[in-house]
């Protein structure tokens, strides 16, 4: 659409300025030559302030997520792909098939347009790979020094298949607890990038869209799935404490069954972190009927994002709602809620 404007948007050496959020021609050009160019789809191309679409029969699931990660680019991803994956995963944890995304951008004056385009291209690629187009959005610009490059809010909608009833309040004593893979990869990748830590093996974020893995679980044993949760901020420990609280139960997990990569474990020791509390962006916790646990574990392991899945524990009756862990030494310790902020701006 560059023929509508006197000069093309300078995506190589230009910067975001306040006019790009003013509602005038500069903002229209930014939308046309950057956002619509890369997010291109029939609904977005209509240039409406909303997207109108038909949905299949069933219950709608909706989730919204703000992304303020620092740095904007990190090993294994960036704020753009993370904004897509994070919201898709929240929708998918209900068992829903994600359908569409909306995206809101808060841009800081002075942000290089080359960086913004890189982020938008990454978002577009992640959305295309997931089959969930970005169909509407918004852009605002704040003065220099009043933002941190770019913040992104994404909202996703999806449809829950009939017969699926997955919720954080459905865990019951005797249910099995599964995790889809190693923990702590994302949070350690971010911290290592911030602190310029070097390891013999590179640590890469696990950021990924999990709806395909969830669809396989739903296809395998829909009535046996009770809770799904992606252990993002606060890590596995927080996710389990949230579910225990919602369901008014306790949990016991086995330290020996929880996979932590050697390089992640080493980085946590250097940084003084407990991997149980470190964020993940491509893993899920599944609580299911015990008699379906092995079948669901096999389904996880057949999927590329669940190859290292494991059954790590079980739900127990506990009026206090404690999460306990059997340690490598045979004792037990309480895995409590985190105190304070270990890893700020991790997603």
Report domain extents, the chain: 2-160, 176-334
Task: Determine the topology of domain 176-334 in CATH.
Answer: Phosphoribosyl-aminoimidazole Synthetase; Chain A, domain 2 (3.90.650)
Give the model's pLDDT for residue 138: 96
CB 253 within 8 A of CB 311: no
Give the model's pLDDT for residue 1: 44
Residue 26 CA: distances (Å) to CA of 15, 62, 115, 220? 12, 32, 18, 51
> How many beta carbons lie within 10 A of that of residue 10, not counting itself?
10
Question: CA-CA distance, 209 to 302, in Å (whole number)?
Answer: 16
Q: Global pTM? A: 0.95
CB within 8 Å of 120: residues ≥ 6 apart = 34, 35, 38, 39, 80
Q: What is the CATH number of domain 2-160?
A: 3.30.1330.10
Give the model's pLDDT for residue 200: 60
Coil, strand or helix: which one is 28?
Answer: helix
Question: CA-CA distance, 199 to 137, in Å (whole number)?
Answer: 39
Give the model's pLDDT for residue 201: 64
Q: What is the pLDDT along the chain (347 residues), one digit of tens a residue?
A: 446 888 999 999 999 999 999 999 999 999 999 999 999 999 999 999 999 999 888 899 999 999 999 999 999 999 999 999 999 999 999 999 999 999 999 999 999 999 999 999 999 999 999 999 999 999 999 999 999 999 999 999 999 999 999 999 999 999 999 999 999 999 999 988 887 777 666 889 999 999 999 999 999 999 999 999 999 999 999 999 999 999 999 999 999 999 999 999 988 998 889 999 999 999 999 999 999 999 999 999 999 999 999 999 999 999 999 999 999 888 999 999 988 777 788 88
């Amino acid at each position: 659409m560059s023929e509508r404007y006197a000069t093309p948007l300078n995506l190589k050496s230009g910067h975001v300025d306040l006019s790009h959020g003013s509602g005038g021609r500069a903002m229209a050009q930014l939308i046309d030559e950057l956002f619509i160019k890369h997010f291109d789809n029939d609904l977005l191309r209509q240039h409406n302030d909303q997207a109108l679409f038909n949905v299949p029969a069933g219950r709608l699931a909706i989730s919204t997520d703000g992304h303020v990660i620092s740095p904007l680019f990190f090993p294994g991803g960036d704020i753009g792909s993370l904004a897509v994956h994070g919201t898709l995963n929240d929708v998918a944890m209900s068992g829903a098939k994600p359908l569409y995304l909306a995206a809101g951008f808060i841009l800081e004056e002075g942000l290089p347009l080359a960086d913004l385009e890189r982020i938008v291209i990454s978002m577009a690629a992640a959305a295309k790979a997931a089959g969930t187009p970005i169909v509407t959005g918004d852009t605002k610009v704040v003065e220099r020094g009043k933002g941190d490059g770019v913040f992104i809010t994404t909202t996703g909608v999806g449809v829950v298949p009939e017969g699926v009833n997955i919720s954080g309040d459905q865990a019951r004593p005797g249910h099995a607890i599964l995790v889809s893979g190693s923990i702590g990869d994302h949070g350690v990748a971010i911290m290592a990038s911030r602190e310029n830590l070097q390891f013999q093996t590179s640590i890469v974020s696990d950021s990924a869209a999990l709806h395909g893995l969830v669809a396989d679980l739903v296809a395998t044993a829909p009535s046996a799935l009770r809770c799904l949760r992606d252990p993002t901020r606060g890590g596995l420990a927080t996710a389990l404490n949230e579910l225990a609280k919602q369901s008014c139960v306790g949990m016991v997990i086995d330290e020996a069954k929880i996979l932590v990569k050697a390089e992640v474990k080493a980085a946590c020791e250097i940084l003084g972190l407990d991997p149980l509390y470190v964020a993940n962006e491509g893993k899920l916790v599944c609580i299911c009927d015990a008699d379906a646990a092995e079948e669901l574990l096999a389904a996880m392991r057949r999927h590329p994002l669940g190859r290292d899945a494991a059954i790590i524990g079980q739900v127990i009756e506990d009026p206090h709602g404690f999460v306990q862990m059997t340690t490598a030494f045979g004792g037990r310790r309480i895995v409590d809620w985190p105190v304070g902020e270990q890893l700020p701006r991790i997603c």
